[in-house]
Structure 1
Amino acid sequence: MELTEEIAAIRDGSGDPARLVGEFRRAALLVPLTLPADESGESGGIAHSGLMSAVQGGIRWFYAFTDEAALARFARARGAGDREWEYVAILGARLVDAVVPMVGGPAGVAVNVADEDGSMFFPPVKGIVPDAYAVDLDADEVA
């Protein structure tokens, strides 16, 4: 199954969380690069490594999309659908295993956030991000 199918299965109550995380880790995701401040109006959505993100509830959420159509819906929702968006393709595993540790605080991944019925958040918890960066583990639990 592909990531979008696993997300749909989880959302309708028939999915398997472990299978969802596995598909997320194997998926090639499109992550938009930050916008210049003069175009976005909010200091460019600045994140680590030039990847677009937002901070909500003390967590930095990296935006990631399963395909160009999902990224285009996000661009339109931000009122910037008429411009070209640069992005990088990165495996979900690399995003959580290599990028999240660079943040210096809690970070997760928000997939297809402009899709009301197809979005999914991968929070900074055990089993998704490296244990040392999981907010649900005590320091004693991290090996």
Structure 2
Amino acid sequence: MGAGRMPSTPTAELRAHMGAFLRGEGDARALVEAVRGAELLLPLLGENAVWTTDLEGIRWLFAFTGTREMHTFLQQKWEAAEPGELPAGLARFARYVAVDGEELLLLPVWVERDRVPMGVVVDVPSDARAFLPPVSGIVPDTIAVDRQPVAEGEVATS
């Protein structure tokens, strides 16, 4: 999706579900289904690595419904960085990959080797952001933290 294109219908539906959910009017299942049906953007770092952050034992992958939301996030990162840490103009020239939401929610399976649960946060700088934790109904049950047995040294939640 280019910078000048309008969001796809599935993307507009996702944004509507995100807003409704945060207002307390939404349905969690409908939100997850909207994510699965939308195309999302993942900004790339260096050698095609995607942006993530670790918080309280969960790795969060940043995904965006459009280039404007992604550029806002990258601009905030650039402004908060130490001098020389990130290149000037990062937001304007960021590389990204478009990913089908269904595939995106399977990504934690591919990175399971790190043994760190991974969730997805959509449009993190937005007031209507959506957090999709690595739990059953969102990610496959084989890696959902609420379905995994707790073994020594592993992270699990109830």
* TM-score, with length taken from structure 2: 0.74
| Structure 2 partner of 1:123 | 133
Q: Summarize the alignment of residues 1-143 of structure 1 with structure 2, pairs less than 5 Å apart.
A: 2-35=13-46, 50-79=49-78, 82-83=89-90, 84-97=93-106, 99-104=107-112, 105-115=116-126, 117-139=127-149
**CA deviation digits over 1:104-139, x for unaligned, max 9?**
230010111111x11111000000000011001144
Aligned residue type for 1:90:
V
Give, in whole Å, the separation in 2 of the partners of 1:122 and 1:24.
9
Aligned residue type for 2:89:
D
Aligned residue type for 1:103:
V
Per the TM alignment, residue 13 of structure 1 is displaced from its structure 2 partner at its CA by: 1.0
Give, in whole Å, the separation in 2 of the partners of 1:23 and 1:124.
17
Give the secondary structure class of the aligned counterpart of 2:78: coil
Give, in whole Å, the separation in 2 of the partners of 1:13 and 1:31.
27
Give, in whole Å, the separation in 2 of the partners of 1:60 and 1:51.
12
Give, in whole Å, the separation in 2 of the partners of 1:24 and 1:134.
17
Give the secondary structure class of the aligned counterpart of 1:79: helix
RMSD after superposition: 1.7
Aligned residue type for 2:124:
V
Per the TM alignment, residue 53 of structure 1 is displaced from its structure 2 partner at its CA by: 0.9
Aligned residue type for 1:130:
P
* TM-score, with length taken from structure 1: 0.81
**CA deviation digits over 1:20-57, x for unaligned, max 9?**
01001111000011247xxxxxxxxxxxx722211111
Per the TM alignment, residue 8 of structure 1 is displaced from its structure 2 partner at its CA by: 0.3
* Count of aligned positions: 125
Larger Rg: 2
| Structure 1 partner of 2:7 | none
Give the secondary structure class of the aligned counterpart of 2:105: helix
Aligned residue type for 2:74:
A
Q: Is the 2:142–2:148 contact (alpha carbons within 8 Å) kept by the matching residues of 1?
A: no
Per the TM alignment, residue 64 of structure 1 is displaced from its structure 2 partner at its CA by: 0.2
Aligned residue type for 2:123:
N
Give, in whole Å, the separation in 2 of the partners of 1:111 and 1:19.
15
Give the secondary structure class of the aligned counterpart of 1:7: helix
